[in-house]
Amino acid sequence: MADKKPKRKELLKEPDEFITWSAIAVEFARSNYRSMVIGLSIFVFVGLLLLGYFAYRSHRQTTSHEILESALREYGNISILMDDKTTAQQDEVFNSLDKISKDYGDLPTGEIALLYSAHILYNKGDFKGALERYNRFQSSGLAGQSLGPLAIYNIAQSYMALKDFEKAMNIFEQLSKDVNSPYRREAYSSIARIYEMMDKKKEAAQAYKQYLKVFPEAPDADFVKAKISQLLAQG
């Protein structure tokens, strides 16, 4: 037996689902008007705060880039000669970079400024100051992304300049074993130079030989060969 279809009058008597839910929503809004207004106000306030934060951060990024570009232009103009005029210029550029690193330390521009300020201290012979800044840069976001090997290499160079040969040697040996390190060749030659600085001529000659074995086509191969002969003759 077929199901009996509902009559039109019966359908009209049934409540409209849309109207029912609309009435419930209206009633809820009336009952919770204050809470809804507060909630909406909080939502708008948080949205405005986020927009303000992103606008402020964007402004800081733009401003820091402009200031850093100016400081790096001055950095590029500094002569490597350590005369009085150049020293004064280095101090001026260092102060600019140091301020950027402090004011924008949470941005990549501040991290770059920190790195270049370390370079200036190293060039001026303040190896302790340079080392402290290279170590700080090593924990930066840029070092973690791509500039980590550069930071490690500069730290080793600073130790070598400070004549802390053991620490420098340990780092250079690690770099020399890393086939992916962009400073592998420099690490091998630095190991040989450390032995020279320690007046260990035979070890230095052996280190230079190892350098040529790994990098037979090195651009300074002829110089290294002459250096080996000189060290063996002296030793």
pLDDT tens for 117-164 read 999 999 999 999 999 999 999 999 998 888 999 999 999 999 999 999
CA atoms lying within 13 Å on the CB side of residue 29? 8
The alpha-carbon radius of gyration of the chain (Å, integer) is 34
pTM above 0.95, yes or no: no
- Note the pLDDT of residue 60: 78
**Cα–Cα distance for residue pair 188/104, rounded to 1 Å:** 36
Distance of alpha carbon 188 from alpha carbon 178, whole angstroms: 11
Instruction: Please give the pLDDT value at position 11.
Output: 46
Q: What pLDDT, on a 0 to 100 scale, did the predictor assign at position 98? A: 95
Residues in Cβ contact with 196 at an 8 Å cutoff, skipping those fewer than 6 apart: 204, 231
**Each residue's pLDDT tens digit in the chain (235 positions)?**
455 555 555 544 555 554 566 666 566 656 766 665 666 666 665 665 555 555 546 667 788 889 988 888 888 877 555 555 577 888 999 999 999 999 998 999 999 999 999 999 999 999 999 999 999 999 999 988 889 999 999 999 999 999 999 999 999 999 999 999 999 999 999 999 999 999 999 999 999 999 999 999 999 999 999 999 999 988 6
pLDDT tens digit string along 166-185? 999 999 999 999 999 999 99
